[in-house]
Chains A and B, each alone.
Chain A
Amino acid sequence: MSAVEDVATQAPAVEAVPKRAMTLGAGTSLMVLALLLIVPLFVKNFIIFQMTMLLIYGVAVLALNILTGGSGQFSLGQSAFYAIGAYTSAILMEQYDVNYALTLPVAGVVCFAAGFLFGQPALRLSGVYLALATFALATAMPQLLKLGYFEKWTGGVQGLVVTKPDAPFGLHMSQDVWLYYFTLVITVAIYIFSVNLLRSRSGRAFTAIRDNEIAASAMGVDVALYKTLAFGVSAGITGVAGGLGAIAVQFVAPDSYTINFAIALFLGMVVGGVGWLPGSFIGSAFIIFVPNIAENISKGLSGAVFGVLLFLVIFLMPHGARQIAVVGQQLLGRLRK
């Protein structure tokens, strides 16, 4: 046991991910995309709705993944940014008759600003303390949305009902199918943006901060700027997801964005694999479908069953879905030889 070995076995808070391993190979990505394009043609509208929600929650988990997996900062407050995005879209659509597609960039910008501003005080905090500060944000948000002062716009506790958009250009498809493809396009765009962001100079700065803050600043990375930037980008993307969510669910209310939702997103990230972007969508599938499975097993004990399933996943695959993907790739590699 030499000193060198000791240092090497000291696990960092979040395991470093090589650049390639952050994404799927080009072939696999195209295959998944093709599947996502074709499947809706053959399934019921209800399944299409679930797939839409899967993409939307997936984008929200992806945003958290950029923050935690990318820059190493924890957040339990994503539900707050999601709520701001959802309300921005809903209020613009219902009170000011803005086209739904135009509300999404606005939601993104508003949330980017909110996240960037929140990132400023958060700079002084790290690890569990930061998680707690964001936790406070998430618990405060539903109550802020209920405030009488904002009620004119937010509808108070009653929330707002949102009109679902029809397919444009006289396309013959149902609202659900149209919304699915609309969401898919935005999801793919955000995914490509995120992958490129993490591979860019800024992404490398995030990674440097995540792995060792002092070393990063010694290398000339502006730690404060990049940490707040990560918060801003993450919040902005979450905001777009929130806006999409409001349109898909057709309803926003304070009760939709409680701390439970923030925890669900966090859970999705861990199950999907921290720092592995495609895992976000697997994590999203987990938080949508596993509660339903748990409920099927036992109604009274659905929470407990969910807990057991979650425990099994974390125990058997501490690195989440990424682990399966890595093992799968190794097996494929062996087969090819």
Chain B
Amino acid sequence: MHFRHSLHAAVLAAAIAGFVSSTAFAQKKYDNGVTDTEIRIGNIMPYSGPASAYGVIGKTEAAYFNKINAEGGINGRKINFISYDDAYSPPKAVEQARRLVENDEVLLIFNSLGTPSNSAIEKYMNAKKVPQLFVATGASKWNNPMDFPWTMGWQPSYQAEAHIYAAYLLKEKPGGKIAVLFQDDDFGKDYIKGLKDALGPQASMIVAVESYETSEPSIDDHIVKFKAAGADVFLSVTTPKFAAQAIKRAAEIDWHPLQIVVNVSSSVGAVMKPAGFENSQGILSANYAKDAADPQWDNDPGMKKFVDFMAQYYADGNKLDAATVFGYGAAQTLVQVLKHCGDDLTRDNVMKQAASLKDFQPDTLLPGITINTSPADFAPIKQLQMMRFKGEKWDMFGDIMSGDLTH
């Protein structure tokens, strides 16, 4: 009896294993940071310093991995998430990356935040051949598998987003006079580049470009200049505080251009409400993730899972904060990659699996937006959908658009 039972079990197990994946038969192969019971994942976040608002992303991810561990882990292995503070300082990021790789011996560094910090560690990570996976920055430089095969982005790049706005303007507002206000840093300059690239020969549509520093108390002057220049399209490449100011000021001086605010400033709570809903009607933007403040997702199964997760594992977090939605989606993508790795948890295989995601959709992405990668394509999310502000919320409209210039 016993013998037959175990024989049955063995045959069954083999059949299941063969069915699930042929890699399951492969020998267990581990790099640093992996044992039969644990996967060590490193992370660097600005928990302190000027960008500390983003620290929420790291906390959400820690909570998400707690959830995964509580549910049994990934193929029986628990995630040990080690997250350090770099205070948004590149030299500190280098120190923390080295601590993670050499001291804590993590398998990979996941979703480290900030363009300067990631630029600082990029060369080191690639020299060490340790994955720098799904970095949390919108710069377009992370999609460069030829030179940096160990570094991969996650969110749509700022340039891709600018391409979408340019395509929209070329179609809907040909001959428009575009005014651009941008923050004088890498974030702002990436949009300018993307816009000019996509407008191509029509770049002369841009009639006024002004930059501002985050230390400026007010950006009113720039808006007045735009009106004087006769612009009828206003692209606001601004962070939330300034985006709200710009919307308000334009209304005050009775300037009513077609206004586009970039994705980071599309928050209803942080931008539209302070600027005044009456001033924000008809403003355009684009998004790739669902907004927890938007009632249209109340019955969405993906968002329900997100809200349940927040209630159970990160109760003191704010589900309306876009950063929690972001952290949840990124963490879910990593879990997907690690699941695909099976028992071959080497750094090589992690990159291989990360570069072969097909139509993966985290719970928090807009319907129709999926994650696709290939060995030549290290930009997981490339699509966005345009949206228009109406009443007290955003209405999605038009097709899911891809930010590729070649499409």
Residues of A within 8 A of B (CB): 44-47, 49-50, 53, 139, 143, 146, 156-159, 161, 245, 249-251, 253-256, 258, 260-261, 288, 291, 295, 299-300, 302-303
Q: For the complex, what is the distance from the CA of A258 to the CA of B84, rounded to whole Å? A: 20
> B213 contacts which chain A residues (CB < 8 A)?
143
Comparing B92-100, B275-283, B322-330, B350-358, the segment that makes contact with chain A is B92-100
Q: For the complex, what is the distance from the CA of A45 to the CA of B99, rounded to whole Å? A: 10
Q: Are A253 and B48 in contact (CB under 8 A)?
A: no
Q: Are B99 and A295 in contact (CB under 8 A)?
A: no
Q: Which B-chain residue is minimally distant from A57 (CB atoms)?
A: B91
Q: For the complex, what is the distance from the CA of A228 to the CA of B48, rounded to whole Å? A: 36
Does B123 lie at the interface of the complex (its beta carbon under 8 Å from any beta carbon of A)? yes
> B141 contacts which chain A residues (CB < 8 A)?
158
> B189 contacts which chain A residues (CB < 8 A)?
156-157
Does B116 lie at the interface of the complex (its beta carbon under 8 Å from any beta carbon of A)? yes
Does B145 lie at the interface of the complex (its beta carbon under 8 Å from any beta carbon of A)? no
Q: Are B85 and A295 in contact (CB under 8 A)?
A: yes
Q: Which A-chain residue is minimally distant from B94 (CB atoms)?
A: A249
CB<8 Å pairs between A and B, sample of 16:
A47-B103, A49-B95, A53-B95, A156-B186, A158-B115, A159-B116, A161-B119, A251-B119, A254-B116, A255-B88, A256-B91, A288-B95, A299-B47, A300-B47, A302-B48, A302-B85
> A245 contacts which chain B residues (CB < 8 A)?
91
Q: How far is the CB of A125 from chain B (nearest CB, A)?
A: 23
Number of interface residues of B (CB under 8 A): 35
Label chain B's interface by main secondary structure: helix
Q: Are A46 and B119 in contact (CB under 8 A)?
A: no
Q: Are B186 and A157 in contact (CB under 8 A)?
A: yes
Contact with A along B21-61 (1 / 0, CB 8 A): 00000000000000000000000000111100001000100
Q: How far is the CB of A176 from chain B (nearest CB, A)?
A: 9
Q: Are A49 and B120 in contact (CB under 8 A)?
A: no
> B101 contacts which chain A residues (CB < 8 A)?
46
Given contacts A46-B102, A300-B47, 10 further A-B contacts (CB under 8 A): A50-B95, A146-B184, A146-B185, A156-B189, A157-B115, A157-B116, A249-B91, A253-B119, A256-B120, A295-B85
> A249 contacts which chain B residues (CB < 8 A)?
90-91, 94, 120
Q: Are A256 and B116 in contact (CB under 8 A)?
A: yes
- From A258, A261, A299, B85 is in contact (CB under 8 Å) with A299
Q: For the complex, what is the distance from the CA of A214 to the CA of B45, rounded to whole Å? A: 51
Q: For the complex, what is the distance from the CA of A50 to the CA of B95, rounded to whole Å? A: 7
A295 and B102 in contact (CB under 8 A), knowing A49-B95, A146-B185, A156-B189? Answer: no
List the 7 closest pairs (A to B, CB-CB), nearest first.
A46-B102, A251-B120, A157-B186, A255-B116, A256-B90, A249-B91, A253-B116
Q: How far is the CB of A59 from chain B (nearest CB, A)?
A: 15
Does B124 lie at the interface of the complex (its beta carbon under 8 Å from any beta carbon of A)? yes
Max chain B Cβ within 10 angstroms of own Cβ: one of A49, A161, A256 = A256
- From B47, B59, B103, B120, A46 is in contact (CB under 8 Å) with B103
Does B87 lie at the interface of the complex (its beta carbon under 8 Å from any beta carbon of A)? yes
Q: For the complex, what is the distance from the CA of A219 to the CA of B50, rounded to whole Å? A: 48
Q: Are B185 and A157 in contact (CB under 8 A)?
A: yes
> A250 contacts which chain B residues (CB < 8 A)?
94, 120, 123-124
Q: How far is the CB of B84 from chain A (nearest CB, A)?
A: 7
Q: For the complex, what is the distance from the CA of A146 to the CA of B186, rounded to whole Å? A: 10
Q: Are B95 and A158 in contact (CB under 8 A)?
A: no
Q: Are A158 and B102 in contact (CB under 8 A)?
A: no
Q: Are B120 and A253 in contact (CB under 8 A)?
A: yes
Does B89 lie at the interface of the complex (its beta carbon under 8 Å from any beta carbon of A)? yes
Q: Which B-chain residue is minimally distant from A45 (CB atoms)?
A: B102
A44 and B103 in contact (CB under 8 A), knowing A49-B98, A143-B213, A157-B186? Answer: yes
Q: How far is the CB of B123 from chain A (nearest CB, A)?
A: 5
Q: Are B87 and A46 in contact (CB under 8 A)?
A: no
Q: Are A253 and B47 in contact (CB under 8 A)?
A: no
> B186 contacts which chain A residues (CB < 8 A)?
156-158
Q: For the complex, what is the distance from the CA of A263 to the CA of B85, rounded to whole Å? A: 18
Q: For the complex, what is the distance from the CA of A255 to the CA of B83, rounded to whole Å? A: 21
A159 and B85 in contact (CB under 8 A), knowing A46-B102, A250-B94, A300-B47? Answer: no
Q: Are A255 and B90 in contact (CB under 8 A)?
A: yes
Q: For the complex, what is the distance from the CA of A291 to the CA of B92, rounded to whole Å? A: 10
Q: For the complex, what is the distance from the CA of A44 to the CA of B104, rounded to whole Å? A: 11
> A288 contacts which chain B residues (CB < 8 A)?
95
Q: How far is the CB of B141 from chain A (nearest CB, A)?
A: 8
Max chain B Cβ within 10 angstroms of own Cβ: one of A254, A291, A299 = A299
> A159 contacts which chain B residues (CB < 8 A)?
90, 116, 119-120
